[in-house]
Structure 1
Amino acid sequence: METTSVSFAAAARALGAAARARGLRVPAFRSPPRVQGAERTVRRWGDGGATVSVVLRGRPLAAVMADMVEGTVVANGLSGTDATRARTALWEAVAVGAPVGPPAAERPDAARPAATVGARDATAAQAGARPVGIDDRRAA
């Protein structure tokens, strides 16, 4: 399957979250590389950041993801066992259905359930606001 910009963006978000969760610098991702004929380039910036550029057109998603994972490892200057651990964690992040970041029990917000739409509507009603539905907008 050829890579689309949507799958590229989703992979970039997942890799960024996984890298951040592990204390790594998150590179910027872009396509295509500025260097003719290169499938992947890493450009380093003065502030320590980096941009990983990869070719999308005509390449399978797995090849693009491999370049994104390796680009993240290179951008962070990792080698040896640190690089191996980072690669493993980054690949787990882009695997289908894999959670990104630390397990829920380790997250500080894990004990708080997310507000539901109904809870937000109830809070708005207490403040005197009336939730607007689709039909309400057409009538206005």
Structure 2
Amino acid sequence: MEATALHFAAVARTLGGAARARGLVVPAFRSPPRRPGASRTLRRWPGGGATVSVEVTGRPREAVVADMVEGVVVVNGVTGPDATRLRTLLWEAVLAASTASAEAA
């Protein structure tokens, strides 16, 4: 199933909440990337902030979520086993939010 702007926004809110709850930097998310042909870009800002830009149009939801999750990991400089744990936590948050919204519908 292809991603939509509404799906992108919901995932951004979920990832932001999950990252914030763990004391991590929450990047801004936007779409599409300014660089033509890029699926994902990252721009760092003075003061530690960052923007993760992800191409949504014509891409599967899972690919979009994977790029967003990886953006949170990279922005926070998490590596190795800690990065694997963080990816798992973020994916679980997205899946839980998706399940909750499906049950509410």
| Corresponding residue to 1:97 among 85, 92, 99 | 99
In structure 2, C-alpha distance between the alignment counterparts of 1:24 and 1:54, rounded to whole Å: 20
TM-score, length basis structure 1: 0.68
For 2:17, give the aligned amino acid: A
**Paired position in structure 2 for 1:35:** 35
Greater relative contact order (Cα 8 A, min sep 6): structure 1 or 2? 2
Unaligned runs of at least 5 residues, structure 1: 99-140
**Paired position in structure 2 for 1:19:** 19
1:46-65 → structure 2 map (5 Å cutoff): 46-65=46-65
For 1:31, give the aligned amino acid: S
State the aligned residue count. Answer: 98
For 1:97, give the aligned amino acid: T
Unaligned runs of at least 5 residues, structure 2: 101-105
- Runs of 4+ in structure 1 off by over 2 angstroms are none
Per-residue deviation at 1:97? 2.4
**Paired position in structure 1 for 2:80:** 80
For 2:99, give the aligned amino acid: G
Query: Bigger CA drift: 67-76 or 77-86?
Result: 77-86
In structure 1, C-alpha distance between the alignment counterparts of 2:67 and 2:78, rounded to whole Å: 15
For 1:70, give the aligned amino acid: E
Per-residue deviation at 1:85? 1.3
Helix, strand or coil at the partner of 1:97: helix
For 1:11, give the aligned amino acid: V
In structure 1, C-alpha distance between the alignment counterparts of 2:4 and 2:25, rounded to whole Å: 25
For 1:18, give the aligned amino acid: A
TM-score, length basis structure 2: 0.90
After superposition, what is the alpha-carbon deviation per residue over 1:40-99, rounded to whole angstroms, capped at 9, x for unaligned? Answer: 00110111011000000000111000000001100111101221111011000111326x
- Pick the structure with more helix per residue: 2
In structure 1, C-alpha distance between the alignment counterparts of 2:88 and 2:22, rounded to whole Å: 12
